[in-house]
Amino acid sequence: MDSAALWVTVKLALGTTLVLLLLGVPLAWWLAQARFRGKFLVEAVIALPLVLPPTVLGFYVLYALGPNSTLGRGYETLTGSRLPFTFVGIWIASVLFNLPFAVRPFVAALEAVDRQLIEAAWCLGVSRWQTFFRVVLPLSWPGILAGAVLTFAHTVGEFGVVLMVGGNIPGVTRTLSIVVYDEVQALNYAAAAQTAWGLVSFSFTALALTYALQRKSWLV
Amino acid sequence: MKASVYWGGIVLAAGVALGGCFGRGNTPVGRIVRVAAAADLQFAFDELARAFQTAHLGIGVRVSYGSSGTFYAQLANEAPFDLYLSADIDYPRRLIKQGKAVAESEFLYAVGQIVVWVPERSALDVPWRGINALLDPQVKKIAIANPQHAPYGRAAQAAMRHFGIYAQLQDRLVFGENIAQTAQFVESGAADVGVIALSLALAPAFRQRGCYAVVPLEAYPRIEQGGVILNWVQDRSAAELLRAFIIGTQGRAILAQYGFLLPQEAEALAR
């Protein structure tokens, strides 16, 4: 297996999961708590990355981050480097693309926490911040972990967005999924099967782990 | 208060993470030419790059294969490649118009050919019947590349029109995303016959597995494969050496071996 691609893949998947835990959990908590009229609109926006074909989404991200856009130019003036075709570029694209895969399980997990327990904590004088860490998180962690594992696995298998924004550069933006695709295109079926087998066994483990964690009891 | 500390921490962490990446762009060590090459060059260019590196020790070639159209969109956003080898001269010309490359760097390196291809197990006598084999009643599905964006697909469609058989075949066509996928449709047996690039039919993986008939050049518009050196090239002299090698004697010999015609040969054949 291509070790440079393996490293890029692991880095990207861990980085995406980390960012989505840090940004996604507060966002999900806000969505689970908030009651306002426009909430359905926010939910719809978060689910949007599910709609577009990944290469098309990648195409728009490419233009949004590229030197022809205000955002891309702003980043270049600030840092002196460009976003597309760099690791940071595919990292940002991957966070955007995985938003629904993280936030939706998080919201479901947080909504399932009994409201009465939260209110009881508040009545006992525990701050909102502490209530979140000492009551809500301990009760919802299997769901949050499930969302994190799903995000990780989905990033590993992501192809279209990473190819478009990353430009298939070995050691920088070429992930295992792109390696498999390249091998199939090059008719190297044996090499493709080897990498694909690695990806499939990894994904199986990740998904089995997710479902095992969601199981309430192991008695049955 | 604490929430603001949390968000402040996130912004800080993001800043540090991004900061860690500054200046560590993809600056290669030593001399290297970064090539974005059309997928149909896959087999020929691997060999060509090896020959180039033997002839010019000390210059590395790093190649990415993909669809010419995807590379075009990426290069319009200044993707870090030095040399672009497109399957269609139109894309490099558009980059020149956009000021991403200079007109002097444009070059024509090959003319692509299409063939009718069937796997070995097929009962269809393609080598003898040529493109008319497509009309055989036992042919249920014919694979071609998507004519909307693949030059080889456009050529296949044009050739069928040229021989006046397109209307009869239209309902039996299936479209591959690119020429390699088209070949896989046929090789897997999902389609009975396909129109693919000669370079693919001659590729090591396909050479033993099927037989083909070359479609006459005058039946379709010339598939002119051209390239450019991008304006943001890192090592211009190395990129120019590689370009000279591709259109030089050695490069052309390798391209010819993989079924690419040289532009002058195509002219001679057409006459």
User: Smallest Cβ distance to B21: which of A55, A59, A87?
Assistant: A87
pLDDT at A52: 87
Q: Does residue A15 fall inside a structural domain?
A: yes
Q: Does residue A177 fall inside a structural domain?
A: yes
pLDDT at B21: 45
Positions of chain B with pLDDT lower than 50, given as ranges: 1, 19-28
B178 contacts A63? CB cut-off 8 A: no
What is the SS3 assignment for B143? strand
Instruction: Burial-class residue A89 by CB neighbours within 10 Å (0-12, 13-18, 19+).
Output: buried
> B225, B257, B228, B252: which is closest to B240 by C-alpha?
B228
Q: Where do the CATH 3.40.190.10 domains begin and end in chain B?
A: 31-111+222-270, 114-214
What CATH class does B114-214 carry? alpha beta
Handedness of CA B121, B124, B125, B127 (dihedral sign): negative
pLDDT at B180: 84
Q: Kindly state the greatest CA–CA separation across chain A.
A: 66
Domain that holds residue A128: 3-214
B22 contacts A79? CB cut-off 8 A: yes
Instruction: Burial-class residue A99 by CB neighbours within 10 Å (0-12, 13-18, 19+).
Output: buried
Chain B segment 29-68 residues within 8 A of A by beta carbon are 34, 36, 39, 42-43, 62, 64-66
pLDDT at A219: 62
B74 contacts A167? CB cut-off 8 A: yes
Q: Does residue A220 fall inside a structural domain?
A: no
pLDDT at B213: 95
For residues B119, B121, B127 and B133, what is the CA-based torsion angle, rounded to 10 degrees? -90
DSSP A49-112: GGTS-HHHHHHHHHHHHSTTSHHHHHHHHHHSS-STTSHHHHHHHHHHHHHHHHHHHHHHHHHT
pLDDT at B187: 87
> A19, A42, A59: which is closest to B71 by C-alpha?
A59
Tell me how many domains chain A contains: 1
Q: Does residue A148 fall inside a structural domain?
A: yes
Positions of chain A with pLDDT lower than 50, given as ranges: none
CATH code of the domain in which A39 resides: 1.10.3720.10
Instruction: Identify the CATH homologous superfamily for domain B31-111+222-270.
Output: Periplasmic binding protein-like II (3.40.190.10)
pLDDT at A102: 95
Contacts of residue B23, defined as CB under 8 A and 6 or more positions apart, other chains included, come to A80, A81
Tokens of A44: 């719809």
Q: Does residue A110 fall inside a structural domain?
A: yes
